[in-house]
Amino acid sequence: MRGAASALDYRELARRRLPPFLFEYIDGGSYAEVTLRRNIADLEDIALRQRVLTDVSTLDLTTELFGQKLKLPVALAPVGLAGMNARRGEVQAARAAEAAGIPFCLSTVSACPLSEVTSAVQAPIWFQLYMIRDRGFMRELLAQARGAGCSTLVFTVDMPVPGSRYRDYHSGLAGASGFAGTMRRVWQGMTHPRWAWDVGIHGRPHQLGNVAPVLGKNTGLEDFFAWMRNNFDPTVSWRDLDFIRSEWSGPLVIKGILDKDDAIAAADIGAEGIVVSNHGGRQLDGVPSTARALPPIADAVGDRLTVLADGGVRSGLDVVRMLALGANGVLLGRAWAYALAAAGEQGVSHMLRLVEAEMRVAMALTSCRSVREIGRNALVDFDR
Ligand SMILES: Cc1cc2nc3c(=O)[nH]c(=O)nc-3n(C[C@H](O)[C@H](O)[C@H](O)COP(=O)(O)O)c2cc1C
């Protein structure tokens, strides 16, 4: 892809391509963004252990997650509103994931509805769900996910209340209400003509596909945020997992675990997997990076459930680092959102090829010939 030689380049391309209110929404974290920075810095800080002269002519990057064979130990994380970054964006990203042989996870608050995405790909996708006050609506969404052939449910538990994302106020995504707010966003769109043409004009309808039925005619961004504030359920507790279980018989993955005791509770209720995640530093600022949180969690529950991790993963080296710290698989969040914004499906495909190539180098030089062989043996001075 012209202009991008690494996944990080896509961030800069996305910054140029997107209206600021959309770029800052992807790029930003909560409050002072301490955790957002920690995710990246702590992961970068993990030193890989170089080993040589071990014949690494054959490398196996495949793995299996929840009964699904993957070409890479990677999945695309749920990213809300991603469909606004490129025309029918979630469809493009799901196609790129399918071509790369990895799962795509659709957010509850995607632009494209479930049926649009699942009818564009053959491979089963994963579906992410938040706890919503209206259990009847949750039932409907789960039935849709089942009907559309989604293979795995990712139940996100770290958003009983939304984090304070101040960048969204500065950029005009939130806070700037009414006519003035709309005009500010329209102006940003008009001054980014490639986006205006691709998404603004040809990417319609601009709505949250899965929640459109309950939002009705209220399709503005402010309506969306108001819906989230009023409908995400802060009473959510472990007891609600019974409800989810009764409506979903497939693999259940609890996303947003950062503490060993919560990981043990997830194993106790019989979840198939967890995602060690702090929502990419978008919820409680000040919590540890996932690179720091992961090892004790993997040690505590790694033999009872599948441990996935995300947060700050921007390269194949980072994927190897997460696996070495104890993850069985890694979710990419911003990495795919930037690539999608910069270059659509081709951008996401290219980013995934970069991740694969970087993984190959890291595996070869840490002497790990297969994903299974990547463990703490691949790290220098691991003492956390
Ligand atoms: C713009 C944006 C929107 C997100 N929306 C959701 C969402 O709808 N549901 C969810 O479970 N996580 C959501 N996340 C969190 C991601 O799934 C993932 O945990 C996070 O992006 C990982 O950090 P990274 O972006 O640094 O890789 C979102 C993240 C971003 C950046």
User: What is the distance, to the nearest Å, from the Cα of residue 13 to the centroid of all Cα atoms in its chain?
Assistant: 19
Does an H or E element contain 187, and which? helix 178-190
Residue 156 in contact with ligand 1 by CB distance below 6 A: yes
**AA letter at 157:** V
The per-residue pLDDT for 173 is 85
Closest to 276 in 3D by CA, of 261, 251, 300, 259: 259
3-state secondary structure 67-119: CEEECCCEEECCCCCHHHCCCCHHHHHHHHHHHHCCCEEECCCCCCCHHHHHC
Catalytic residue among 192, 202, 206, 279: 279
pLDDT of residue 383: 57
Relative to the CA of 39, which ligand 1 atom is closest?
Answer: 26
pLDDT in tens, 94-108: 999 999 999 999 999
From CA 167, how far away is CA 170, in angstroms rounded?
A: 5
Residue nearest to atom 19 of ligand 1 (CA): 279
Does the beta carbon of 26 lie inside 6 Å of ligand 1? yes
Residue nearest to atom 2 of ligand 1 (CA): 79
For 175, the token pair is: 């806070």
pLDDT of residue 7: 78
Please state, in angstroms and as integers, the Cα–Cα distance from residue 206 to each residue in 20, 151, 241, 371, following that order.
17, 27, 32, 40
Question: Ligand 1 centroid vs 233 CA: distance in angstroms?
Answer: 19
Query: Is 351 strand, coil or helix?
Result: helix
**192 is annotated as an active-site residue:** no
Q: Tell which atom from ligand 1 comes closest to the C-alpha of 280.
A: 23
Q: What is the pLDDT of residue 2?
A: 58
Give the pLDDT score at 179.
84
pLDDT confidence of residue 262? 98
Find the 364 Cα to ligand 1 centroid distance in Å: 30
Q: Return the pLDDT at 47.
A: 97
Q: Which stretches of the chain drop beneath a pLDDT of 70?
A: 1-3, 176, 383-384
User: Going by CA atoms, what residue is nearest to atom 8 of ligand 1?
Assistant: 80
